[in-house]
Structure 1
Amino acid sequence: MSILLTGCAGFIGFHVAQALLDRGEAVIGVDNLNDYYDVRLKEARLARLAERAGFAFSRVDVSDREAMAALVAAAPDVTAVVHLAAQAGVRFSMVDPYAYVQSNVLGHLVILEACRKISGLRHVVYASSSSVYGANRDLPFRETDRVDAPVSLYAVTKRADELMSHAYGHLFGLPQTGLRFFTVYGPWGRPDMAYYSFARAIVAGEPITLYEGGRLKRDFTYVDDIVAGVLGVLDRPPAGDAPRLLNIGNHAAEEVRTLVALLEAGLGRRAVVRDAPRPAADVEETFASVEAIGALAGFRPAVGLAEGIGRFVAWFKAWHAVA
């Protein structure tokens, strides 16, 4: 038996792969190693996975229907799929919207079609996003909230994935759970994300831009908590054909300027700050209700922002050779 994991060289995928291997699972990792950010970081993650027993890798784009169909046909023992591959980044969706439709929408469809061909499949867990809540102002965000007012194309593609999965559950009985991730951070993270780009700028003495004085709030969720939630949900497939949607976050909204202060303390340097208006694609606050995933899988976030940023800074210093 094996688990098919897409996006294995990505930030969350890398950590999920390690956790699956740690508990003795065989993992078939899929990634196209695109150059949205420094490929060397992806290659370094992948190199660590390649050293592990039980890991096999295929360089495949999930939107390539023939390649994915061939991959699934060659791996008849797959019992679960963790689909994390996607074009990431909210703001970049205004620069290259086609990449998001190709990877997130077509890619999700290709995965669903491939999963229909897996006879022993027990569960598909896939990545959605807190961005689907869009302009919603009711806090905390709950799975029962309306999600019909997106403020970015990225959010649109993730909501499209949820709707596709609902249809495939209804039509084909495909057991699925979509996880709405809330601002994941930690070691081996994505350089395009705020906490990582802030750290690089602070070390270099370059200015960082804070919107509305850093008063925007985010539900920062440490990657180890995310991984625990993913595995807990993976082990509990839905009983019926109605796909589930679950928030997975830290259940704590923190101001971005608090994040900056923690980075300054850990790096021993002051940030050079520029203020700017909030971009149209950014929301004022994200805050996850996690009661549903807690009831299902016993999920309880364990790592607060101060501890998590401390761990990230330690990794960041080692990776970038910062004294």
Structure 2
Amino acid sequence: MVIAGNLLVTGCAGFIGFHLAEHLLRAGQPVIGLDNLNDYYDPALKRARLDLLKQHRGFTFVELDLADRAGMKALFERYRFEVVVHLAAQAGVRYSLQNPHAYADSNLEGFLNVLEGCRHTACKHLLFASSSSVYGANTKLPFSVHDNVDHPVSLYAATKKANELIAHSYSHLYRVPATGLRFFTVYGTWYRPDMALYAFADAITKGKPIQLFNNGNMRRDFTYVDDVVEAMMRLIGRAPEGDVNWSGAHPDPGSSRAPWRVYNIGNSRPEELMHVVALLEQGFGRQAEKQLLPMQPGDVPETSADVSDLEREIGFRPQTRIEDGIARFVAWYRAYHDVDRT
């Protein structure tokens, strides 16, 4: 798949953004990548990813903050992107309890700047990162895009739900084709250090205790990053069309008469957290010291994705087994940190 115009990937030095940009470049698609390389986690990891992207002749890097209104306006006017894949954001549920203003700056103001750029330069498709966190206090499993998500339990989740709503308003008012992607616990090589699996790996290799909230009684729909990228690759060329002439009742929460859609991007096979810890122990050849703790504020005990819309519309369901995905992550972690198996 190669599009004729310019393609922007925001957050290109981040975990998912890096994998998508590299996949696009390997497929022969030139990519303009944006990142501000902030220090939310070690910028050295971001720069290591970026160095790999810079080895591709079709890659152009722009260091810019999403909240820089003038800079974003100039970027969109210069390149007039045909497709924008917006993955940059202030991530993390727990960090939103400590630094809420970072989420307003990046996830709200920054997202608005992206939408304004798309609006004024006739972007043909905006794909943007949402999160499984939007399901918040929902108890009906698996989580479906056709269910209401009006009760977020963290500021991070609230900003992601706000992104979906703001994007819908732009799709309705200005016919900006927009597709929201609700990611479910994405993991893999070149992973983020603030995520639980990375923290577990770090603790296991250093002989430190791992913290297991809700006494370890958690289930997550772990989704391997290559599966996420494959879903995005199939969706890039499928901009929602909507129906400007439709005058009937508004459809359910997962669709719209505007050119707007949301999809769950998940594995649809929740895993017990303790099983995942056991796979990490097996991979590193070491036992973890486990510290059992109560539930964290803003967290939920289980996530599970209904991906039937994704399967029906693009013919894809994630395939990577947790055993294979964890083995690949462990191999990358050991190589990147020069950790020997004992």
TM-score class, shorter: over 0.9
Letter in 2 for 1:29: G
Once the two structures are superposed, what CA deviation does each residue of 1:266-293 show, in whole Å capped at 9, x if it has no partner? 0000000010101121101000000111
User: Is 1:213–1:257's contact at 8 Å kept on the other side of the alignment?
Assistant: no
- In the alignment, which residue of structure 1 is the partner of 2:187? 185
Aligned length: 321
Tell me the secondary structure at the aligned position of residue 180 of structure 1: strand
2:21 to 11, 17, 33: 17
**How far has the Cα of 1:294 moved from its partner?**
1.1
- In the alignment, which residue of structure 2 is the partner of 1:173? 175
**How far has the Cα of 1:242 moved from its partner?**
3.1
Counting only pairs closer than 5 Å after superposition, residues 51-70 of structure 1 correspond to structure 2 as 51-70=55-74
Counting only pairs closer than 5 Å after superposition, residues 210-289 of structure 1 correspond to structure 2 as 210-240=212-242, 241-289=258-306
**How far has the Cα of 1:212 moved from its partner?**
2.6
2:197 to 188, 195, 198: 195
Counting only pairs closer than 5 Å after superposition, residues 1-323 of structure 1 correspond to structure 2 as 1-76=5-80, 78-119=81-122, 121-240=123-242, 241-323=258-340
Q: Which runs of 4+ in 1 moved over 6 A?
A: none
Letter in 2 for 1:81: V
User: Is 2:241–2:260's contact at 8 Å kept on the other side of the alignment?
Assistant: no
Tell me the secondary structure at the aligned position of residue 4 of structure 1: strand
2 CA distance for matches of 1:73 and 1:307? Answer: 43
Identity of aligned residues (%): 54
Letter in 2 for 1:15: H
User: Is 1:2–1:25's contact at 8 Å kept on the other side of the alignment?
Assistant: no
Letter in 1 for 2:290: V
Letter in 2 for 1:27: V
User: Is 1:176–1:244's contact at 8 Å kept on the other side of the alignment?
Assistant: yes
Q: TM-score, normalised by structure 1?
A: 0.98
1 CA distance for matches of 2:201 and 2:47? Answer: 21
2 CA distance for matches of 1:51 and 1:219? Answer: 33
Farther-moved stretch of structure 1 (84-93 vs 211-220): 211-220
1 CA distance for matches of 2:262 and 2:43? Answer: 31
Tell me the secondary structure at the aligned position of residue 79 of structure 2: coil
Query: Structure 2, unaligned stretches of length 5 or more?
Result: 243-257
User: Is 2:134–2:161's contact at 8 Å kept on the other side of the alignment?
Assistant: yes
User: Is 1:79–1:122's contact at 8 Å kept on the other side of the alignment?
Assistant: yes
Once the two structures are superposed, what CA deviation does each residue of 1:68-102 show, in whole Å capped at 9, x if it has no partner? 111111113x2100000000111000000000111
Query: Structure 1, unaligned stretches of length 5 or more?
Result: none
2 CA distance for matches of 1:177 and 1:197? Answer: 31
2 CA distance for matches of 1:237 and 1:224? Answer: 21
User: Is 2:11–2:89's contact at 8 Å kept on the other side of the alignment?
Assistant: yes
Farther-moved stretch of structure 1 (277-286 vs 207-216): 207-216
Q: TM-score, normalised by structure 2?
A: 0.93
Once the two structures are superposed, what CA deviation does each residue of 1:178-235 show, in whole Å capped at 9, x if it has no partner? 0000000000010010000100000000001112331211000000000001111111
1 CA distance for matches of 2:316 and 2:25? Answer: 20
1 CA distance for matches of 2:306 and 2:262? Answer: 12
Letter in 2 for 1:105: L
**How far has the Cα of 1:303 moved from its partner?**
0.4
Letter in 2 for 1:274: Q
2 CA distance for matches of 1:290 and 1:52? Answer: 33
User: Is 1:233–1:296's contact at 8 Å kept on the other side of the alignment?
Assistant: no
User: Is 1:17–1:27's contact at 8 Å kept on the other side of the alignment?
Assistant: yes
C-alpha RMSD of matched pairs (Å): 0.8
